[in-house]
């Protein structure tokens, strides 16, 4: 799991499964998954198995802002231990290019440094 994503203990326990699922959800405008793009800020899972994700988008005018959170919630519910999921979209802190992972930079043709 990325160091810049805040996790509670339950989310840490499922971090490998979370990463696998996050890497399957793509920002359709940039064609990179939301994990490597750096859109995820926080993941918590409560004692009832509800997963709350705090995320952002690269731009406030992102055309997928209405559908992508719903798609993400559905994908997260396929993980054993997650019974329900919701996504909170925030605009602060503002997303920056520096949030793109090294793998993401390589995939986009950006210098990995």
Low-confidence residues of the chain, pLDDT below 70?
Answer: none
Q: Quote the pLDDT of residue 70.
A: 94
Domain 6-94: CATH architecture, name and number where available: 2-Layer Sandwich (3.30)
Strand, coil or helix: 11: helix
Instruction: Report in angstroms the alpha-carbon separations of 82 from 37, 43, 63, 93.
Output: 23, 12, 28, 27
The tens digit of pLDDT for each residue in 15-41 reads 999 999 999 999 988 889 999 999 999
Q: Quote the pLDDT of residue 30.
A: 87
Query: Domain residues of the chain, as ranges?
Result: 6-94
The Cα 75–Cα 24 span in angstroms is 8
Q: Quote the pLDDT of residue 72.
A: 97
């Amino acid at each position: 799991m990325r160091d810049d994503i805040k996790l509670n203990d339950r989310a840490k326990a499922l971090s490998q499964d979370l990463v696998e699922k996050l890497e399957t959800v793509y920002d359709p405008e940039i064609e990179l998954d939301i994990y490597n793009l750096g859109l995820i800020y926080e993941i918590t899972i409560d004692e009832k198995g509800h997963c709350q994700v705090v995320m952002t988008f690269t731009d406030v005018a992102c055309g997928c802002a209405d559908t992508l959170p719903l798609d993400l919630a559905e994908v997260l519910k396929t993980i054993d231990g997650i019974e329900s999921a919701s996504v909170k979209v925030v605009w602060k802190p503002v997303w920056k290019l520096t949030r793109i992972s090294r793998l993401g930079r390589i995939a986009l043709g950006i210098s990995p440094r």
